[in-house]
Structure 1
Amino acid sequence: MGRIRFRCRALAGAALVALALGGSPVSAETLKEALTKAYLSNPTLTGARAGQRAEDENVPLARAQALPSLGANAEYTEVLRKPDNSFNAPSRSVFAGARLAVPIYRGGGVKNAIRAADTRVMAGQAGLRGTESIVFTNVVAAYMDVIRDSAIVSLNRANVGVLEVNLQATKDRFEVGDLTRTDIAQSDARLAIARSDLQAAEALLIGSKERYIQLVGNAPGTLENPPALPNFPTSPDQAVETALENNPDLIAAQREREAARFDVRGANASRLPSVSGVSEGSYTNYLGTLGSSIPGAAIAQSTKTATLGVEATIPLYQGGAPSARMRQAQARESQSIERQIEVERSIISQTRAAYASWRASNEVIESSRLAVSANTLSLEGVRAENSVGTRTIIEILNAEQELLNAQVQLVTAQRDAYVAGFSLLAAMGQAEARDLGLEGGPLYDPMTNYKRVRNHIGDWDSDPTPEPVATRTVDTPAQNPSVVAFPK
């Protein structure tokens, strides 16, 4: 499948939404712009990137075990009381020493720790891609929810207006004896229900707007109808095949399994000997307080030493700890194997479900279009027949309600089809920043930080003091159910 190209084609059937919302075309925020804002400032994404940078540091931490270590120490001693039988003991001294240790052999533990850390970095980078997909899918859902709920509010408001006119007309006809109190009661009841439905729809719209703010960082104004998604797979099997190759969560699980295998090899190293090259040097000065047992004989007041050698440690018995580490690492490798299968199952299920939902929603769209058209004609006919006395008021009310239901079903199906389609692309690994053509600067590349820190061996390096990257929404006003005009 190719990249998702955000073209200017509107979602199929969106003309009904534009008609429901009415108004003249105005400048609107596009789906690409909403996704870009989320990509740059959504705290889930920015936090995941920081977490990945922390994961990168495990590589130099593992490599540090293979590098030389150099230490120094200094000491000043003042003897407050000498032993009674020690006449030449010094009264004070200063000492300085240094030790250099160079690892030569660690049983393969360091090598496998580095490999495991590198592999987990790759797993984390794949997981970061998966986080992008999840955030983008949620943004698309929130974007489409605002469009859907705005349309439903507008449809319900229009319905309330129509029912108010119907009620007044019914009362006027009752005054001239053309209708009964039953007709007025029916119209009054239907209007009350319509008003309660409108209040429920307005509450849902407010909720959708607040969810949009949570994900994107700003309140939704006028939202442009979303662009068409690319060509989809022709069968669920084709979708699953693509998902098993590209889904970032599955790639992350595979990398975690590989890392666990390196952990097993590293655990085995604790049973093997370790060898290091060691060099030490020291300097001691007694500050002229070291006495001599021979009267009148001078004695050196300072000493220097230097050693160079090889140090080997051969474990003979460690209380069963190496075996416990080995079994623990093997159990975790087994866990990672099962986890990979779990993720694979989940991806297959998600992909097939998204494909089925996408297909079903498109079929509902076609059926709902026919229903809207048929109910529109039916309502016109019922009203015409009522004017000549062959239809009752309740039949007009029922026809109006059926038309409203069909319109709501259509805009709901349009939302469901688009979200299911995007979810399908996400499951197939094709709904990430690199696929969406986002604008607003270069995409975040986790390899940049990894390359920066992997071979760093300095002890005095640090990054700048952390500052927030995500935007806060505390200053965003509480939303209301107002509906703005959507571009046609």
Structure 2
Amino acid sequence: MQTLGLGAPCRRPSRPLVAALLGVSLLGLSPVSAESLQGALAKAYQTNPTLNAARANQMATDENVPIQRAAGLPSANITSTFNENVLIPDGQFVVIPRTLNTAAQLQVPIYQGGLVKNGIKAADARVAAGEETLRGTEASVFSQVVAAYNDVLRDTQIVDLNRNNVKNLEVNLRATQDRFEVGDLTRTDVAQSEARLSQAKADLRNSEANLIAAKERYIQQVGEVPADLSSPPPLPGLPTDVAEAVEVAIKENPDIAAATKNSEAAGYDVKTARASRLPTLSGFGNFNRNDNFGGARANIPINIPSTQKSAVIGAQLQLPLYQGGRPSAQIRQAQARRTAAMETQIGTERLVIQQVRAAFASWRASLDVITSAEAAIAANSLSLEGVRAENGVGNRTIIEVLNAEQELINSRVQLATARRNAYVAGFTLLAAMGNAEARDLDLQGITLYNPKDNYRRAKGQFLDWTGRDAPMIRSTRTVTTPAQEAAITVGEDAAVAAPQ
């Protein structure tokens, strides 16, 4: 069993059982060249546009921290103004044809009522919320990949079953027609065989269309055409009861963690709004230089220097007295948003609990359906053999044979569907518990993305002229992939594994 060993350190310890989810094969019989579920997830992790867009959005959220911090740092600017006096009024004692005025200003915030401090804390909380949201996006994308992967396997099996059914019914029809020719069967028997064959062909066309749709969904999520998909491994680490699942989800679910951090950020927003009613203190320094380029002329005997300089430093205290009610309105607004964030936190918790319980119920029900379907296949296989044997001696009709064959096909389709549903429900349950993200899986050959790396870079930037790499697309396009067909290639007949 493989364990996690890739990527940057995680907030919580890795789980060897969950890491093994995709690290081992179900039976070890798949060809070396077959695509595994682990490989499909690794490709989606690197090239899925939804995931890459979420990472870029998180990078944008990181920049709110230095933006808020900038309000508490010194600022400096230089303003230079050139004047050319093109029309000088008569009677002037001093004539200055042109001037260049340069002013340098330095502002140093000293106290702003907690505006900067709480703004930075709110930004930090939203960065943490964004990281949790990114976790949720990973789990969501992986859940869609798992569903698409298993859809292809299920629909491939159903197409294969329907194609074999059509072939068998074609043989049945020819045999029925031959027996009709010799008077052993009636025209009704032939019509029943023809009707069943027509229905089987219709079922085949529908299943082929479903397979094509499943392959296209796979391409959408993974970015490549599904080929030779191997059986997915069993899902380890599933809870023994629903109470355990809910308990883990409350602690680890990223949506709950994100809602908690957003509520915390809204609390800092209230403190930020209150700062607008408090006094502010700042220091300043101004330097001015005025240059007339030695062109000043005077009608009276005075000395006019070509350059004049002045400088001043000081402090400014501003005490708000009345602002038209704006601060109170902003505080009330922030408080209302804080209330909304707290309610959203409870609503998210409710939703996660519902998702966990529903996924657990679906998973357990699908496992029961698998057991029933396997028993039904065994019974229907035995029944079909008996009905065929009895039909050979005239004790059973053709329609009874056709019905027995159809019941066996239905049982096999039900088994393939139940296995798919159980696997997807099991993975959905792990995702709702916060245990189905990249850091929980052994995605070999890739380096795990750590959002804290960009956060540390953004937080350490103080200069105005720093930047980042030019925007670029990291996801793959699928316009060049061929339109999918219902062809079944070697390896696509792998069975969907049922969670243990």
Q: Deviations over 1:119-171 (max 9, x none)?
A: 10000000000000000000000000000000000000000011000000001
One-letter amino acid of the counterpart of residue 137, structure 1 = S
One-letter amino acid of the counterpart of residue 410, structure 1 = L
One-letter amino acid of the counterpart of residue 3, structure 1 = V
CA distance in 2, matches of 1:254, 1:25: 46
Q: Which residue of 1 aligns with 2:464?
A: 459
Are 1:3 and 2:9 an aligned pair? no
Task: Tell me the SS of whatever aligns to 1:441.
Answer: coil
**Any conservation in 2 of the 1:253–1:339 contact (CA below 8 Å)?**
yes
CA distance in 1, matches of 2:80, 2:25: 75
Q: Please, which of 11, 30, 43 is the counterpart of residue 37 of structure 1?
A: 43
**Any conservation in 2 of the 1:31–1:140 contact (CA below 8 Å)?**
yes
CA distance in 2, matches of 1:423, 1:158: 33
Q: Which residue of 2 aligns with 1:444?
A: 449
Are 1:249 and 2:265 an aligned pair? no
Aligned-pair CA distance for 1:293 = 5.9
**Any conservation in 2 of the 1:4–1:430 contact (CA below 8 Å)?**
no
Are 1:399 and 2:404 an aligned pair? yes
Task: Tell me the SS of whatever aligns to 1:261.
Answer: helix
Q: Please, which of 78, 81, 84 is the counterpart of residue 90 of structure 2?
A: 84
Greater CA drift, 115-124 or 75-84: 75-84
Q: Please, which of 351, 367, 380 is the counterpart of residue 372 of structure 2?
A: 367
**Structure 2: 5+ residue stretches without partners:** 1-14, 495-500
Q: Which residue of 2 aligns with 1:433?
A: 438
**1:75/1:311 Cα in 2 relative to 1: closer, same or farther (>3 Å)?**
same
One-letter amino acid of the counterpart of residue 271, structure 2 = R
Q: Deviations over 1:67-108 (max 9, x none)?
A: 100000111111122233322132221111100000001100
Q: Which residue of 2 aligns with 1:331?
A: 336
Q: Which residue of 2 aligns with 1:21?
A: none
Q: Which residue of 1 aligns with 2:55?
A: 49
**Any conservation in 2 of the 1:283–1:304 contact (CA below 8 Å)?**
yes
Q: Deviations over 1:347-396 (max 9, x none)?
A: 00000000000000000000100000110010011001111111110000
Within a 5 Å distance, the mapping from 1:74-113 to structure 2 comes to 74-113=80-119
Aligned-pair CA distance for 1:440 = 2.4
Q: Which residue of 2 aligns with 1:485?
A: 490
> Normalising by structure 1, what TM-score?
0.95
Q: Please, which of 188, 199, 202 is the counterpart of residue 196 of structure 1?
A: 202
CA distance in 2, matches of 1:120, 1:43: 23
**Any conservation in 2 of the 1:218–1:476 contact (CA below 8 Å)?**
yes
Q: Which residue of 1 aligns with 2:12?
A: none
CA distance in 2, matches of 1:26, 1:433: 24
One-letter amino acid of the counterpart of residue 19, structure 2 = I
Within a 5 Å distance, the mapping from 1:292-303 to structure 2 comes to 292=298, 294-295=300-301, 297-303=302-308
Number of corresponding residues: 477
CA distance in 2, matches of 1:42, 1:147: 21
Within a 5 Å distance, the mapping from 1:8-407 to structure 2 comes to 8-10=24-26, 27-292=33-298, 294-295=300-301, 297-407=302-412
One-letter amino acid of the counterpart of residue 306, structure 1 = A
Q: Which residue of 2 aligns with 1:408?
A: 413
CA distance in 1, matches of 2:259, 2:303: 74
**Any conservation in 1 of the 2:93–2:300 contact (CA below 8 Å)?**
no
One-letter amino acid of the counterpart of residue 275, structure 2 = A
**Structure 1: 5+ residue stretches without partners:** 19-23
Greater CA drift, 214-223 or 319-328: 319-328
One-letter amino acid of the counterpart of residue 405, structure 1 = N
Q: Deviations over 1:36-80 (max 9, x none)?
A: 000000000000000000000000000100110000011111112
Task: Tell me the SS of whatever aligns to 2:86.
Answer: coil
CA distance in 1, matches of 2:153, 2:486: 12
CA distance in 2, matches of 1:162, 1:74: 91
**Any conservation in 2 of the 1:7–1:228 contact (CA below 8 Å)?**
no
One-letter amino acid of the counterpart of residue 341, structure 2 = S
CA distance in 2, matches of 1:309, 1:455: 30
Q: Deviations over 1:181-216 (max 9, x none)?
A: 000000000000000000000000000000000000
CA distance in 2, matches of 1:58, 1:25: 50
Task: Tell me the SS of whatever aligns to 1:474.
Answer: coil
CA distance in 1, matches of 2:237, 2:55: 31
CA distance in 2, matches of 1:71, 1:32: 55
CA distance in 2, matches of 1:161, 1:333: 66
**Any conservation in 2 of the 1:4–1:229 contact (CA below 8 Å)?**
no
Aligned-pair CA distance for 1:290 = 3.0
CA distance in 2, matches of 1:170, 1:466: 68
Give me the CA root mean square deviation.
1.6
Aligned-pair CA distance for 1:26 = 6.9
Task: Tell me the SS of whatever aligns to 2:167.
Answer: helix
**Any conservation in 1 of the 2:23–2:442 contact (CA below 8 Å)?**
no
Task: Tell me the SS of whatever aligns to 1:3.
Answer: helix
Task: Tell me the SS of whatever aligns to 1:282.
Answer: strand
